[in-house]
Amino acid sequence: MFEMEFFGLVLLVLVVALLASMFRVLREYERGVIFMLGRFYKVKGPGLIIIVPVLQQMVRVDLRTIVMDVPTQDVISRDNVSVQVNAVIYFRVLDPEKAIIQVENYLEATSQLSQTTLRSVLGQHELDDMLAERERLNADIQDILDKQTSAWGIKVANVELKHVDLNETMVRAIAKQAEAERERRAKVIHAMGESEAAEKLAEAAQVLSHQDQAIQLRYLQTLVEIASDKSNTIVFPLPVDILAKLKGEES
């Protein structure tokens, strides 16, 4: 009698455990990839699903966007400059079936692919492009990753370069280059100013050459400027018409 009760209790526990293992609850952002005797059966979820013990197995897949940090990579640019670059990628699973069946570990595969793609794309550009055209480089890397991971049911939404680190020698070289560029611009602006001033002076001289009164007014203005300055300069005004008469007598 005791053995029958014990056997019944054990059987009841097994039945309860079996029934409990049949019911699974998947959250809104989760899906379950179901295998029947080792073969793909279907994708279930979200909510309450039923799994036949022993015959079926389930693999959970998270559909939320995953933020993955790409480790720092040593990159040699097209102009032979060694830099250290790291980035961050945003991706999510669109097809749980492909993410489980087509690749062993889609997280590791995406991480390794992003590292090699980062080195390959940046190595085709010069250092100035890495520093000034990050948006275009981000778009190029994102496009390449998205095309290659689509076979795994992965959608790469965005790629962002975080840091482009240079050694101290290159930092000093870039600082010298920037300083030289500023000096060049200053000299160009100064030369342009001199050129514009020369053109205006030529125009003024041409106007004064046709107007004697204008020359006298300019002469008087010069005297006013000299008188306002605290100096020991002595000026003897001489009418311009007298000089003209003297020239006429000499000729």
8 A C-beta contact, residue 91 and residue 155:
yes
112 shares a domain with 75: yes
108 shares a domain with 38: no
139 shares a domain with 181: no
Query: In the prediction, which pLDDT does 231 show?
Result: 62
* Residue 114 forms part of a structural domain: yes
Query: In the prediction, which pLDDT does 164 show?
Result: 86
158 shares a domain with 75: yes
* Residue 229 forms part of a structural domain: yes
The pLDDT profile of the chain, 251 residues, written as one tens digit per residue, is 666 777 777 777 777 777 778 888 999 999 999 999 999 999 998 999 999 888 899 999 999 999 999 999 999 888 888 899 999 999 999 999 999 999 999 999 999 999 999 999 999 998 888 888 889 999 999 999 999 999 999 999 999 998 888 877 766 666 677 778 788 888 888 888 888 888 887 877 777 666 666 666 666 677 666 666 666 665 556 665 655 666 655 55
Q: Give the span between the Cα atoms of 156 and 88, in whole angstroms.
A: 11
126 shares a domain with 55: no
Q: Give the span between the Cα atoms of 41 and 108, in whole angstroms.
A: 25
180 shares a domain with 161: no
Tally the C-alpha atoms within 13 A of residue 206's C-alpha that lie toward its C-beta: 6
Specify the number of domains making up the chain. 3
Domain that holds residue 31: 19-61
Of the residues 166, 184, 208, the one at which a domain ends: 166
* Residue 127 forms part of a structural domain: yes
Of the residues 140, 166, 192, the one at which a domain ends: 166
* Residue 73 forms part of a structural domain: yes
Query: In the prediction, which pLDDT does 238 show?
Result: 62
CATH number for the domain that contains residue 151: 3.30.479.30
- pTM, two decimals, is 0.67
177 shares a domain with 139: no
152 shares a domain with 73: yes
204 shares a domain with 113: no
**Ordered DSSP codes for 179-226:** HHHHHHHHHHHHHHHHHHHHHHHHHHHHHHTT-HHHHHHHHHHHHHHH
* Residue 227 forms part of a structural domain: yes
214 shares a domain with 161: no
196 shares a domain with 136: no
Of the residues 61, 89, 112, the one at which a domain ends: 61
Element (H, E) at 67: strand 66-76
* Residue 206 forms part of a structural domain: yes
* Residue 208 forms part of a structural domain: yes
Q: First-to-last CA distance in the chain?
A: 156
129 shares a domain with 101: yes
* Residue 7 forms part of a structural domain: no
